Chain A
């Protein structure tokens, strides 16, 4: 329905071009033809408008630029490092840890020995991977020749053992005391007492350290039977004991009330 109406001026223009071609001066004819091409305003025409439908705000478009994560090399080649020094920060494994280096949980490469940083490739190990290593002397190179002994550093000093005089266990000496008849009698003392040290702690109170409190049972020689999963005998005994205790308590309670 729409098409023939819009084609009408084009058709008229085309016929006028065809007519004028026989007459002569082509330019005049062309102008005339284009004049006829002009769409007559009175005829109804459909026009389409594309409105903006792309969300501009909210979470649609991610932030294009966040703060930098300060990735990259923290130590350059041949630079001196000590154990724990971070050599390279990265996302993913652009670099792999080589000799005397290790990789952290976010792929950070750090040194495990003191020495000089070397960035290298080891085609015999892997043709694509690149490694970061630490050598002990600046002139040394990586990778090492195939099957050659590893370079290893002791990193220790030899000292004499301090002579520790072997003492009789103090607690035993205390506990065993000779009676008037010369018979060894065990002295009663509170278990685990004796070697407790009280220090002034935070909050102006004298008390033991938490770790010492945690070892109190061990000091008092309290042995707890190790829990064995599936040991029905012990479980039954425990359950029976608990039930008996509860029953006893209930009985006593009732008595007290009555």
Chain B
């Protein structure tokens, strides 16, 4: 190596390093006029400023907690954050891997093709819309059928155009996806179907919500349930004191547009002693609530009073009764169909509420459900008292079922010792009259 190269090496390294973003943790010491590291430490020991954590690169539990306390959630997985710490954060376009860049070119070309196809499909749709239905074979109906299928294909193309973009995938994983765009809705739907939908589907079947409340149910919206700050998993037992205030829902729909929904909470295990069976009760009913893919938060306490038909009745399970299943259903109304609150208030009663008939009568479609369970606990009596519900002093006991065979008279050894003579034996005097 020539001497000039040797002498220029540190300078070159310094220049290269200047491109690396300041977040990079892997720093090579370069020429600097500042003091050496140990001198700095000696100077700074007197003042210890509070550490600042970066949500993109924090990996320690302490740092994560500090961030969350300040209201900022760490981005992505801890493994990813750890990887980011040591990466140079070079943007994709500048990554010095030839194969990678060639692959990107292929993907970009594919995307351009898809964009072309989208343009063409849009044009075709416009042309068809401009056409007179009498000129089309099959008339107006055929025209509409073709239009819907073409629109469906257009949506499909939109997803195909973006599905291979690594940046879109990253943004979705960071939780920064815009739910107005079809690709993010598609990715969110896929993610939901992979785990959360399976769980809720399983709970629906296990807890018998499907034959008991509805004859058939195919959830298409993600519903998350929380009371105060406590998240509730599907089918979990919830303390009555916690569920005293209305639930907070987060409803994520995966199809575009705003729609109106009706929210119903139903208890499907109300003990009915006269019938010797169970009946149902409606604990909450609110209607005409707007819902869109972007606005997913739905705290039931904050629903407008002109939308609430039946206000929140806290869940309560009387002592001794088997567990109560509470299901909060999200029912989608037909587009442009607004339910009349007064009519609903007249027709719907809390006791004996029938979900099947409600769905049929008001032409709504169940899209999502959140399920939790409740049992008698220490707080139930107070909750019932505060809500003005009677029956906190009732306890359910098992009914005795008479045996088919009559009781046999005591015979032999036991009969002999059943008289008072053997009373002092304690254990052996259980046959005493």
Contact = CB atoms under 8 A, between A and B. Distances in A.
Interface of A: 80, 82-83, 85, 114, 147-161, 199-202
Contacts, number: 73
A82 B424 CA distance: 37
**3 tightest Cβ-Cβ pairs between the two chains A and B:** A147-B215, A200-B426, A156-B396
A156 B399 contact: yes
A73 to B, nearest CB: 16
Contacts of A160: 393-395
Nearest to B356: A149
Contact of B273 (A83, A151, A157, A199): A157
Given A114-B401, A153-B277, 17 more contacts: A147-B215, A150-B211, A154-B275, A155-B399, A156-B321, A156-B396, A156-B398, A156-B399, A157-B397, A157-B399, A158-B273, A159-B394, A160-B395, A161-B319, A200-B425, A201-B427, A202-B427
B390 interface: no
Interface in B403-417: 403-404
A156 to B, nearest CB: 4
Interface of B: 208, 210-212, 215-216, 271-273, 275-278, 319-321, 393-399, 401-404, 424-427
B273 A148 contact: no
Contact of A158 (B210, B275, B395): B395
A149 B325 CA distance: 15
B256 to A, nearest CB: 31
Contacts of A158: 271, 273, 394-396
A139 to B, nearest CB: 16
A231 B370 CA distance: 41
B144 to A, nearest CB: 32
A147 B356 CA distance: 11
Contacts of B427: 201-202
A150 B275 CA distance: 15
A149 B277 contact: no
A147 B218 CA distance: 13
Contacts of B401: 82-83, 114, 155
Contact of B215 (A83, A148, A159, A199): A148
Given A155-B398, A158-B395, A149 B404 contact: no
Nearest to B320: A156
A142 to B, nearest CB: 14
Given A147-B215, A201-B427, A156 B397 contact: yes
A200 B397 CA distance: 32
Nearest to B424: A200
A155 B321 CA distance: 10
A82 B403 contact: yes
Contact of A82 (B212, B271, B277, B404): B404
B394 A149 contact: no
B271 A154 contact: yes
29 contacts: A80-B404, A83-B401, A147-B211, A148-B211, A148-B215, A149-B211, A153-B276, A153-B277, A154-B271, A154-B273, A154-B277, A156-B273, A156-B320, A156-B321, A156-B396, A156-B399, A158-B273, A158-B394, A159-B395, A159-B397, A160-B395, A161-B394, A161-B395, A200-B424, A200-B425, A200-B426, A201-B427, A202-B426, A202-B427
